[in-house]
Chains A and B, each alone.
Chain A
Amino acid sequence: MPLVGKKYTWFKENGSAKSKLDRVLVTEKWLQIWPMCKQYVQRREVSDHCALVVKSVDKDWGLRPFRTIDTWHMERGFNGMVKEMCQSYVVQGNEIAKLKDKLKMLKGDLKVWNRDVLGNLHTKKRDIMQEIENLDCQDVYDDPLESVRLERLELMSRLREIDSKIDSLISLKARMNWLKYGDSCTKFCHSSLRWKRLRNELKGVEVGGQWCEESCTVRLEAKKLFENRFKATKDLGVRLGAVEFKTLTLEKNLSLMSVFIEEEIKEPVWQCEGSKSPGPDWFNFSFIKKSWDYINDKFVIALVAFHETCSKGFNASFIALVPKVRDPSSFFTRQCSNASVCAFPLQPSRGSCSPKST
């Protein structure tokens, strides 16, 4: 279980030695019931050991990012539906804003569709199994009718379909490329999923010497940190007068300044792996590839417009905190010796389908 607060639980009186002697071990099943269980190391007060507090805290980190689920493509008629959705939107503004708004509306509609139409796969599976069970109980006496036989076949195929969907969903969550579909029932796969969730969560940070765990305070602190980092200063204190820079040839310069063409946009998109996404809260590449036929023109128009005007409004930045050490307790590396958090300001710029710009 992750240890929050300190790294060691026992300290020698004079501080010359310290160890992690006390610990809490739990079984797989325990984590199934209390998935967000963590050990918090308390202040040392009456003994040379620290008290450990085990509690299960599930924090609300605000709005969840949008994620494309590859399982959607297994649904019949999904592509057609997306195409219809895309064409039905009416948007205003310049070309880039249009593309942005369209994709935003598509995201909203897909979220609703996922919840209402696709629904919970496990509940659906239970319903189908119940129907099969009912049929099994009914026709014990006579030969099954033709209609019942067909109904059974239909139900069985739906059951298989849902099973494979659940499998693909789990393997997507576990992010294990080498664990092929069908292996998702293994204990290993489930435990790696749970462990990943537990490990990646930011348990809390130190703010001005105070340990703080509330998600809103942590978020504000992270935002403040990056605001300070990206503040413009008037004088950089660097003089480049005597440095000679390498310059591009005229030919290269022209090729850089030329208008984007579709192949040029398509190639990098196809080079990207399908399960990857250009940023958090965005469509992944396999979605873009599969719906390329009816969104490609929009991308091209938007990118051409970008090439001409370089307008703003396409530059939303996200800060994703990725812990570089186990259980960090502060945002700073140098000031605070034992923890750091690394940040990626992600910019879905240049229509996000052009990795050469990032």
Chain B
Amino acid sequence: MLIINLNIRGLGGGTKARYLREVIASEGAKFIYIQETKSMVFSDAKCFALWGGNNIGWIHNEGENGGGSLLSMWKKEVFGYESHVMGKGFIAISGQHLRLSHRCVIVNVYAACALREKERLWEELTNNKAVPQDPILCLCGGFNSVRTRSERKGVSN
């Protein structure tokens, strides 16, 4: 299970795509979760080019006007996609880990800065009917908040 999570701040331009390809190749990624892609359209060809291979499954969440857009990609030989739930600020994908045959749910999250938006997001995530009781669950992403003061520096409030 090797997951890469990155807030890329706009996936335009060749440099970022090249960087992504390099990281995927060097780490041998099985899953990749990108926040803030800021591109409106994705196609098979574009995702295959990003990964540098074509046995890839992908789901893109457009977000609002390119903001809060999410992209989840996975290697088809590792993860058997079953279903997904998409909402404002998250993509939850459930499927089978093929080698260990465990059913797991992996969620790509981008929480907006506004507190109300965050509350709504967490509510939506916890009330998600697609997630079974006591799941094998992994949430990755940008939560735009810290748990304690020590987790940030140089921010006034």
Q: Which residues of A contact B (CB under 8 A)?
A: 7-8, 10, 12, 16-30, 33-34, 37, 42, 45-56
Among A10, A22, A30, A52, point to the contact of B136 (Cβ < 8 A). A30
Residues of B contacting A37 in the complex (Cβ-Cβ under 8 angstroms): 1
Whether the pair B137, A47 counts as a contact (CB closer than 8 A) is no
Q: How far is A14 from B145 in the complex, measured between Cα atoms in Å? A: 20
Whether the pair A49, B6 counts as a contact (CB closer than 8 A) is yes
Closest-by-CB residue of B relative to A3 is B151
Dominant secondary structure of chain B at its interface with chain A = mixed
Residues of B contacting A12 in the complex (Cβ-Cβ under 8 angstroms): 154
Q: How far is A130 from B131 in the complex, measured between Cα atoms in Å? A: 35
Whether the pair B143, A21 counts as a contact (CB closer than 8 A) is yes
**Binary A-proximity of B114-155 (CB < 8 A = 1, otherwise 0):** 000000000000000000001111111111111100011111
Q: How far is A113 from B27 in the complex, measured between Cα atoms in Å? A: 42
Min CB–CB distance A25 → chain B (angstroms):
4
Min CB–CB distance A198 → chain B (angstroms):
15
With A24-B139, A27-B136, A45-B19 as contacts: A54 and B152 at CB distance below 8 Å:
no
Residues of A contacting B154 in the complex (Cβ-Cβ under 8 angstroms): 12, 16-18
Whether the pair A19, B9 counts as a contact (CB closer than 8 A) is no
Report the contact-size class of chain B (Cβ under 8 Å from the partner): 35 or more
Closest-by-CB residue of B relative to A18 is B153
In the complex, B16 has a CB within 8 A of chain A: yes
Residues of B contacting A20 in the complex (Cβ-Cβ under 8 angstroms): 146-147, 151-152
With A19-B151, A21-B146, A30-B138 as contacts: A56 and B1 at CB distance below 8 Å:
yes
Whether the pair B153, A8 counts as a contact (CB closer than 8 A) is yes
Q: List 28 A-B contacts (CB under 8 A).
A: A7-B151, A8-B152, A12-B154, A18-B152, A18-B154, A19-B155, A20-B151, A21-B7, A22-B35, A23-B143, A24-B5, A24-B138, A24-B140, A25-B139, A26-B138, A26-B139, A29-B137, A33-B102, A34-B1, A46-B15, A48-B9, A49-B35, A49-B142, A51-B6, A53-B29, A54-B1, A54-B2, A54-B140
Whether the pair A33, B139 counts as a contact (CB closer than 8 A) is no
Whether the pair A21, B142 counts as a contact (CB closer than 8 A) is yes
With A30-B137, A33-B102, A53-B27 as contacts: A22 and B143 at CB distance below 8 Å:
yes
Nearest 8 interchain pairs by C-beta: A17-B154, A49-B7, A19-B152, A51-B6, A54-B3, A25-B139, A20-B151, A52-B5
Q: How far is A22 from B15 in the complex, measured between Cα atoms in Å? A: 22
Closest-by-CB residue of B relative to A25 is B139
In the complex, B78 has a CB within 8 A of chain A: no
With A19-B146, A27-B134, A30-B138 as contacts: A53 and B151 at CB distance below 8 Å:
no
